[in-house]
Structure 1
């Protein structure tokens, strides 16, 4: 039978849709996109010029350090990253020889003029020297300087203002012995140097060609060897990264030491990393919008569920039934971190070592109700801190107790009375011992979460007759002010970068003033202990020195350590494989997205 044109077209319209579909080989799988919010805005993505957690979350996925952490091992285990193996170390921990894996390449970038650029040992020599270049004003330079790399401090000191830094000058302690071999030599024993070298976010390799091409705009042009590359950035508004197409073959593997690790390894072992295609990040500082964006599915994951929503999301620390029915996953974790207040030791109101100034800081510490902070402000998601040592780090003892963790308005009032802080004019507020007005200036942000801390401070200090006013500002700007010594006191958080507690101890080390030592605390006795702790292997002698450091912090109170936070993360059911890292930021390359579990639009 012959069909006319109308019959033919009609018959084709009735054909099954499958007959019109493209061949199966041409159907592209749905892109796996991971979306999350940051609790504060980033500052940029040049590893030597950043220190904030939010920027480092990005750089940890773009750049690669020599070493990293086993993705499943708990307790943690340091493993080679771009290196072939752990360093070859001499007997006194002063020489480290590291061999790189050949065949690792930087992501493609115009700086390389169309050529594939292999990672070599000289890239790490150059990257470490960038931290020493005064022009970069690296906040993490003191950490590297303290390692005592032979010739590096002298190279920095020889820099002439207004002239290019001499990156080509050879130094004894930092050498590329050949294309793939790096040697580091230090002045004094550094038994834990490998922990410094296991930070993708800060110690990842940067190519010289990239720095020379982008110059001062490098913060917006991170180019590394890691699993992701930056593809979009609207400052303080939106960040997007995509899978690095030139990333080498890296397979999911590890040493499982607990049930969670064994489950992850059984599920993902042998999978090529990264498992997702794209990451999108939006800074949302206010708690309610951040929480609602997660509940509404705009974000796949919420890190550090705001304390206000803890009783709703996980009453009694158990996931709420309505969230469990949606398949939402709850991850509760005692973080290796703390929230602390630093007191500016150079401030004329409350700084200095005179007995009455020490008494004022200790009285402020005793006046702060940490139980209220834990239970009411943080909704039970923290534990009181007793010192500056952090959970999961060497030397931390949960049974240790000190005045740092004590709440006693009676003792605070007695100290203030004893050292002459009296209310002489009857207005309800104490004055300095010389009769001058006393007003404490508390730096904070204008969001709702910060206001709850402000209210606690105002109430607690009023109870002991101390007047306080709040100075509002944005977090990145206040960080700059803190480093410049322009804030009297500021309340913020800190997270351990590695198992050694030295990162937190550095916050009171004199030479770190203006960097990690926001309080500008300069006490020779403390500095000597700090320097000795650097040289000793872990053991009873080092532990005794850590105890003495704890006592000095409590005695002089240059910082009040409030709490160690308990972190609660939530993920929608389509996010697979998440486990909060202990001492690193990176996890995007270790998770997967199951599009089949996502609700259809």
Structure 2
């Protein structure tokens, strides 16, 4: 007798320092409707990389794919505490008592968007499409940075099928049936795992951005250009794309009848008001989305002020005092009907050190001492004050707020700013200024030059200034290499970097996903630092099959302590997000883990200039 899992509806972890500020939901739209297309316009702060889900780690590309593709389950966009509900699936999975068999029944009558790959015929989604889509992550030719999630899932036979292709040098055998990933019939998918996986639905069955269904015909039709042609069952289709400039999506004309619905908590006044206002509206409510790429903060801010954009995600810190003096929306903006949405982000910013680099990498005491000294020299409270204008909390680990494993009481010894201790560490391990020129050399007397990958936008420039000051104080030469964000990501994934600062946003409730950044087998994917430490790997693998509870939380604590000891990443901050909306943007609520929200917002043309 199978039972439905009791774990898919969980409490949002309390965060004592969290700040949530939203203005009341706006009044109802005027009765007179307009036939003009409703267009949502806003800007990304960094460029996209690709729209092939197997290739994505950056948040910007994933926002696009989250609206094009659909997977089996989704997060309820209004529910707080967070809940998972069926999207393409008919119901929550049927799960065996040992958490090793998951049976999912799909809704019939869901179709992919029209595309030349289908030769003019409608193409219905089936369970086989998920079998194929998931196997793409295992195909060694794709070199997917997200393979680690499937490796962690442990679907029976999938890793062996991958190894067979690697060893033989032949094409991956998509036709070969494996016991862990099967279409029992047209609308029934079954997954079987080698070990208990209580959180499998969170791991690979939830998240349109990465785990949505892809049609084999589309992949074969476009070949190496598949990253330019995302075709899914979602509410939007890609209309045009000018790389690093503009991305335009339009309503999917073949999208099924789907209506606004949610389950906000009874005491959630904002969520209840949104539900009352939009319930049973057909989705999506906007016809077109235009995304600009504006890396510089001032032009992005001015575009919003001038009404060119309807929404400003993450108000640049440079303008926080202008827009939110004293934590409240400025009167001149409030008079225009603008609204502010402010909360602690479920994210963390990190500096990754390449553990394979001969200078900053390695596990020997002298190499660990160098990373620790750099960490102690960095003044994070100063970064929060000067660069982030107070819009952040200091991070103590890689774990993001709102996820399991996060603890506001955890303190890392490496989080403090202690220049004297940093210098003493370098002296102790032979990083000395032997020639009196003011710069330290390596223990063997050879030159010591740190290299930091960076970007050209104003915030990175300010962060670089903080780094330069800290390293100058420490007596370490620092060179900064400027490149576009996608180029830096490509270099990091290939291991061709020394250090790089990056933000990481949680994509699921379980904090173990953040620990994947330190899991040895995930090197080259989520593990940008290429950290590979046996004890950490053992703890990580032990956690996978454990139910949530005190024993698993104790392992989270051990993992965080190992990360602090070896310091492959320097945690910086958890950001405070302040989003702004124009008066004509209706229904916005910042997502927590998920990335899709366009279908839930509306545009009131009567208020737009």
**TM-score (ref. length: structure 2):** 0.93
State the Cα deviation string for residues 143-199 of structure 1 (Å, max 9, x = none): 112110111111111226764321111011000000100000011111111112111
Please give the root-mean-square deviation of Cα atoms over the aligned residues, in Å: 1.2
The question of whether the paired residues in 2 share the 8 Å contact of 1:71 and 1:253 is answered with: no
- Selected match of 1:207 from 204, 207, 215: 215
| 1:194 is aligned to 2:194 | no
**How much has 1:371 moved relative to structure 2?**
0.5
State the Cα deviation string for residues 522-581 of structure 1 (Å, max 9, x = none): 100000001111111110000000000010011111110000011111110100011111
| 1:64 is aligned to 2:70 | yes
| 1:173 is aligned to 2:183 | no
**How much has 1:326 moved relative to structure 2?**
0.8
The question of whether the paired residues in 1 share the 8 Å contact of 2:34 and 2:605 is answered with: no
Find the counterpart in structure 1 of residue 152 from structure 2.
146
Inter-CA distance 404–579: structure 2 relative to 1 (3 Å threshold) = farther
| 1:239 is aligned to 2:252 | no
Q: What count of residue pairs does the alignment treat as equivalent? A: 573
Aligned pairs (5 A) from 1:243-282: 243-257=251-265, 258-282=268-292
Alpha-carbon distance in structure 1 between the residues aligned to 2:565 and 2:230? 44
Aligned pairs (5 A) from 1:7-406: 29-159=35-165, 163-196=170-203, 197-257=205-265, 258-406=268-416
Q: Which stretches of structure 1, 4 residues or more, deviate above 2 A after TM superposition?
A: 160-165
Alpha-carbon distance in structure 2 between the residues aligned to 1:266 and 1:399? 38
Find the counterpart in structure 2 of residue 416 from structure 1.
426
**How much has 1:461 moved relative to structure 2?**
1.5
Alpha-carbon distance in structure 2 between the residues aligned to 1:226 and 1:49? 19
Alpha-carbon distance in structure 1 between the residues aligned to 2:384 and 2:347? 15
- Selected match of 2:451 from 441, 444, 466: 441
Task: Give the 3-state SS of the residue equivalent to 2:165 in structure 1.
Answer: coil
Alpha-carbon distance in structure 2 between the residues aligned to 1:45 and 1:389? 27
**How much has 1:28 moved relative to structure 2?**
7.1
Alpha-carbon distance in structure 2 between the residues aligned to 1:315 and 1:154? 58
| 1:540 is aligned to 2:542 | no
Task: Give the 3-state SS of the residue equivalent to 1:146 in structure 2.
Answer: helix
The question of whether the paired residues in 1 share the 8 Å contact of 2:516 and 2:527 is answered with: yes
Find the counterpart in structure 2 of residue 15 from structure 1.
none
**How much has 1:93 moved relative to structure 2?**
0.8
Alpha-carbon distance in structure 2 between the residues aligned to 1:403 and 1:574? 48
The question of whether the paired residues in 1 share the 8 Å contact of 2:155 and 2:193 is answered with: yes
State the Cα deviation string for residues 375-405 of structure 1 (Å, max 9, x = none): 1100011000011111000021112212232
Higher Rg: 1
| 1:476 is aligned to 2:483 | no
**How much has 1:110 moved relative to structure 2?**
1.7
State the Cα deviation string for residues 492-531 of structure 1 (Å, max 9, x = none): 1000110111221011111111111111111000000011
Alpha-carbon distance in structure 2 between the residues aligned to 1:294 and 1:44? 26
The question of whether the paired residues in 1 share the 8 Å contact of 2:69 and 2:209 is answered with: yes
**How much has 1:419 moved relative to structure 2?**
1.6
Alpha-carbon distance in structure 1 between the residues aligned to 2:113 and 2:427? 64
Alpha-carbon distance in structure 2 between the residues aligned to 1:404 and 1:518? 20
The question of whether the paired residues in 2 share the 8 Å contact of 1:385 and 1:404 is answered with: no
**How much has 1:259 moved relative to structure 2?**
2.0
- Selected match of 2:559 from 549, 553, 578: 549
The question of whether the paired residues in 2 share the 8 Å contact of 1:404 and 1:561 is answered with: no
**How much has 1:251 moved relative to structure 2?**
1.1
Task: Give the 3-state SS of the residue equivalent to 1:230 in structure 2.
Answer: strand
**How much has 1:138 moved relative to structure 2?**
1.2
The question of whether the paired residues in 1 share the 8 Å contact of 2:145 and 2:526 is answered with: yes
State the Cα deviation string for residues 70-110 of structure 1 (Å, max 9, x = none): 11101210110100111100111111000001111111112
State the Cα deviation string for residues 238-273 of structure 1 (Å, max 9, x = none): 111111111111111111112221121111111111
- Structure 2: runs of 5+ lacking an equivalent: 1-32
The question of whether the paired residues in 1 share the 8 Å contact of 2:57 and 2:526 is answered with: no
The question of whether the paired residues in 1 share the 8 Å contact of 2:78 and 2:264 is answered with: yes
State the Cα deviation string for residues 313-345 of structure 1 (Å, max 9, x = none): 112221111111111110101111011001111
Find the counterpart in structure 2 of residue 598 from structure 1.
608
Task: Give the 3-state SS of the residue equivalent to 1:158 in structure 2.
Answer: helix
Task: Give the 3-state SS of the residue equivalent to 2:153 in structure 1.
Answer: coil
Task: Give the 3-state SS of the residue equivalent to 2:572 in structure 1.
Answer: strand
Task: Give the 3-state SS of the residue equivalent to 2:290 in structure 1.
Answer: strand
The question of whether the paired residues in 1 share the 8 Å contact of 2:361 and 2:367 is answered with: yes
| 1:531 is aligned to 2:541 | yes
Find the counterpart in structure 1 of residue 532 from structure 2.
522
